[in-house]
A and B are shown apart, each in its own frame.
Chain A
Amino acid sequence: MTAPPGDEVPIASNDDVVRVRQLVRTAAAAAGLSLVDQTKLVTAASELARNTYAHGGGGTMRVERATGEEGRPGVRIVFADAGPGIADVEQALSEGWSSGTGLGLGLSGARRLSDEFDLRSEAGKGTTVTVAKWAR
């Protein structure tokens, strides 16, 4: 069930979303994140994995150990899809904005739960979201 650091896993089903949570939990615990921070990162990853599957038409997730400011250990996760992309990133990141199927908390929530958040999207090309969280 555990992938080596930096391994890429597919997100092509609801089961894969559950698997992403498990992989991120393992990586976050190994990096020394507190239980609360692990839970925040796993929740953010769950939101982003669901977006990759439901809106991006499936894609991949890569989780790796990383080092933040002042050498703090942590985890970085990259979600990538080759889906339709997000036409208005600003709007998609505003709280409560929804494409129609959810509460509109997915992206804005994932950003709030992470220490680092980066979203790149191009219409027709796909979306890449990177999040990271560091041990305190």
Chain B
Amino acid sequence: MERVPILKIGDVLLVSIQVDLQDQTVLALQEDLADRIVRTGAHGVIIDITAVDIVDSFIGRTFATIASMSRLMDSETVVVGMRPAVAITLVELGLSLGGVRTALDLEEGMRLLGAGAPGARAPAADHS
């Protein structure tokens, strides 16, 4: 099983998924992220799915779980880079991912978390 690496940029944990997501890989990512949020005190998580060509109900549900879980640990999750075909399919599947914040790309996601461009000092996250 492959593991998805988690990078830390300032106050944000960044995950860019570049592999075919097998169920165990998604579950491991959830656990690894929980662990890293606690250890680093990061206030934001960005999951980049630019390279992900399908999100089925299991993967989508796990994204929602990660978002809820991180919120409980004072960290906001943003899913970025969803492909149009994936978005259309998710809605038709019946999964709207209501509790998950999204942004079109990484830059927007960083801005949403109040983190600005990578390298900039992260101010306190503004979720308004």
Contacts and interface: CB of A to CB of B under 8 A. Distances in A.
Contact of A39 (B21, B22, B86): B86
Nearest to A34: B85
A43 B56 contact: yes
B55 interface: yes
Given A102-B61, A103-B57, A105-B95, A14 B24 contact: yes
A25 interface: yes
A40 B88 CA distance: 8
A76 interface: no
B92 A112 contact: yes
Range for the number of chain B residues in contact with chain A: 20 to 34
Contacts of A108: 94
Interface string A1-33: 000000000000011011001100100000000
Given A112-B92, A113-B93, A39 B20 contact: no
B94 A112 contact: yes
A25 B54 CA distance: 10
Contacts of B55: 43
A59 interface: no
A42 B93 CA distance: 12
Given A47-B57, A47-B93, 15 more contacts: A14-B1, A17-B23, A22-B20, A39-B83, A39-B86, A39-B89, A40-B92, A43-B54, A43-B55, A46-B56, A50-B58, A105-B93, A105-B95, A113-B92, A113-B93
Interface of B: 1, 20-24, 53-58, 61, 83-86, 88-89, 92-95
30 contacts: A14-B1, A14-B23, A14-B24, A15-B22, A17-B22, A17-B23, A21-B20, A36-B84, A36-B88, A39-B53, A39-B88, A39-B89, A40-B89, A42-B53, A43-B54, A46-B54, A46-B56, A102-B57, A103-B57, A103-B61, A105-B95, A106-B57, A109-B57, A109-B93, A112-B92, A112-B93, A112-B94, A113-B89, A113-B92, A113-B93
